[in-house]
Chains A and B, each alone.
Chain A
Amino acid sequence: MTDTALPLVKAPAAPGRERWLAVALAAPALLILLALFALPLAKLLAASVAGPDGPTLAEYAKLLGTPYYLGVIWNSVRLALLTTGIALVIGYPAAFALARARGAVRSALLACLFLPLAASVIVKAFAWTILLRSDGLVNETLLALGLIDAPIRMIFTETALIVGSVNIFLPFMILPIYTVVAQLDPRLMEAAATLGAAPAEAFVRVVVPLTVPGVVAGVALVFSLAVSAYVVPTLLIGERYPTLSTTIAKAYLLARQPTFGAAAGVVLLVIAVATVALSTRLARLGGAR
């Protein structure tokens, strides 16, 4: 501004003030995050490069250079990818069913979704081991129906792992999608129809883009939960399928290799954060606003 500017012209409501208000409002959350998250993270990073003769990347080299550990990383990613993919395929239509349901049906469906969240992951994983073991409910039923002659091996297989994992993390896919679907204006579908779009085309051109934010949230949630899951692989498949999280636990608890454990933890974190960032990015490129 110059000196000739009219004194009556006011600057637009001081942006500095608004920014300070935002900082003030976020302060409590920021402090908690800083104390509970940033500090331990810094310690973790420091621990992961700690060597007897100063900082070293040796543990990272071991993780990223040994076929065995690359396999472990892949196991974690594979578990997360499969869980996320299957949960999305099941959860997307389920979210619509939930949003369309009315009255008692809706309450019942919401209860089905929320109640499992009240039970601990350990309980749910154990429930699956009970269902799937050779004298478990599933085998007994199949035997009784005469569909099989001998119990099939279900527990400690990858199938069991994926089934259990999808089951346990599914609500985290459905809820964010449901939230978005419930807010969709049904008039938009009607408008699309009067403009000549058949239901399937209207769905693809209107509903899908508008539900992208929910899908991104669900994918990010389920992926980061599944990639770092510990109880689920431990109870449902065990030693045969080492993941990053079980490896970290072993490094700390059994092998006493805290530097290696810390490095594996950092790798896990990077994968989770990268996925969240990537999916948000893809969603934006996909045209969702």
Chain B
Amino acid sequence: MSQEPIDAASHLVVRQASKRYGATTVLDRVDLAIRRGELVTLLGPSGCGKTTLLRLIAGLALPDAGTVAIAGRDVTRVPPHRRNVGVVFQNYALFPHLSVAGNVAFGLTVRRRPKADIARAVDKALALVHLDHLAARPISALSGGQQQRVALARALAVEPDVLLFDEALSALDRKLREEMQGEMRRILRDINATAIFVTHDQDEALTMSDRVAVMNGGRIEQLAEPRLIYQRPASLFTLNFVGLSTRISGTVVACDGGIVQVDTKVGRLAATGRFLAGSQVVVATRPEHLRPAAGATGNAVSGRVRAVVFQGSRSLVEVGAGGETLLAELPGQEAALLAPDAEIRLAWPVSETFAFPAPEMAA
């Protein structure tokens, strides 16, 4: 889809990487190019191959085809201990026979750093994750969130070139997680490490990263800045997976200059896209573009209010029209006036309406 060309400035480059386990293709010709110091989040449903992609990059699994290059060097067959790629594992993988400090020191000890340097680096790493007071604790005496932070400190302490985080903040409460997100951005900038951050949390993906890669079924559907992922999703999957949307299916009746006219159950709608007349498409837009309107510039649909979901300063209004559902995000006061089942007319600009090929019917 909208992959950027692989430029020479990229620090980490995965090219056409495929991996299969038995009959299932877990990664399908994945391309990924990340600049030095950039933070990319991998967003995708469970089982789409995120962990597998990280394992390929770390050298813990070999691709069946394709290459992995770091700083211009092909490392596809380089063993993990010679890659300087740090990993925070989904299940932490802490060493149970070592203390908190022993775990954090591990990478430096095997690098034969002087004792004093190790002690200093361990203190620093533990301070970053707010665990300095637990340095002597055995791992078995830590909570899940504390273990996760030890795993973070252990990976950061060796200051690797590339850092891979597999849902590294998932076990933390909201406040601590936001604090850690900030800390990690800062640390990553300090050590100028290239980082991939796997997460199920969209907010985390959209707020933390320089770019977001949306994965689906072993492929990267889109790799772009968070704003673009949200505002200009490249596929129906991305649209669906990131954020809320109104989706109405229909048939293209005309196409002119990148604008298609689509016949739907709620009337004719215009959308950006190029399709042949007769194509089945899904017309979509984000909830914040829908406004109650009397006039008729752009697209407009009349329906009845089905539900109003209060969300603090704004409310989400669900409107039923001709068997389709429209989602509008309205300011609190506006939404407060809406009674359930009230008639409402919603309008939104054509420039924020997109047409995607309709998903093929399952055979």
Contacts and interface: CB of A to CB of B under 8 A. Distances in A.
Contacts of B94: 191
A191 B109 CA distance: 14
B363 interface: no
A3 interface: no
Given A201-B110, A205-B106, A289-B138, A194 B81 contact: yes
A201 B91 CA distance: 22
A196 to B, nearest CB: 5
A246 to B, nearest CB: 42
Given A196-B84, A196-B107, A196-B111, A187 B95 contact: no
A193 B60 contact: yes
B97 interface: yes
Given A188-B93, A188-B95, A190-B60, A205 B110 contact: yes
A194 B60 contact: yes
Interface string A189-207: 0111111111101100110
B196 interface: no
A196 B157 CA distance: 12
Given A210-B96, A210-B97, A288-B97, A194 B110 contact: no
B97 A289 contact: yes
Contacts of A190: 58, 60, 80, 87, 89, 93
A287 B94 CA distance: 16
A53 interface: no
A14 to B, nearest CB: 23
Contacts of B233: none
Interface string B66-85: 00000000000001110111
Nearest to A187: B93
Given A194-B58, A194-B60, A194-B81, A209 B97 contact: yes
Interface residues of A, number: 22
B312 to A, nearest CB: 38
B81 A193 contact: yes
A185 interface: yes
Given A190-B80, A201-B110, A205-B106, A195 B86 contact: yes
A205 B158 CA distance: 17
B11 interface: no
A193 B85 CA distance: 10
Interface string B87-117: 1010101111100000000110111000000
A194 B154 CA distance: 11
Contacts of A287: 97
A287 B106 CA distance: 15
Contacts of B111: 196
A199 B109 CA distance: 15
Contact of A289 (B79, B93, B96, B154): B96
Interface residues of B, number: 28
Nearest to B138: A289
A289 to B, nearest CB: 6
A266 to B, nearest CB: 37
B84 to A, nearest CB: 7
Interface in A190-243: 190-199, 201-202, 205-206, 209-210
Interface string B55-70: 0001110000000000
Given A187-B91, A205-B106, A198 B97 contact: no
Interface string A21-56: 000000000000000000000000000000000000
A210 to B, nearest CB: 6
A206 B109 CA distance: 13
Interface in B112-144: 138, 140
A191 B87 contact: yes
A209 B138 CA distance: 15
A198 B81 CA distance: 6
Contact of B158 (A195, A206, A209, A289): A195
Contact of A194 (B85, B95, B138): B85
Contacts of B59: 193-194
Contacts of A197: 81, 106, 110
A187 B107 CA distance: 15
A198 B59 CA distance: 13
Given A191-B87, A196-B111, A201-B110, 4 more contacts: A194-B59, A194-B85, A196-B110, A205-B109
16 contacts: A185-B93, A190-B80, A190-B93, A191-B94, A192-B110, A194-B58, A194-B155, A195-B107, A195-B158, A196-B84, A197-B81, A198-B81, A199-B81, A205-B106, A289-B97, A289-B138
Which 9 residue pairs of A and B lie closest in terms of their CB atoms, listed nearest first?
A195-B107, A187-B93, A193-B80, A191-B93, A197-B110, A194-B87, A209-B97, A193-B81, A196-B110
Interface of B: 58-60, 79-81, 83-87, 89, 91, 93-97, 106-107, 109-111, 138, 140, 154-155, 158
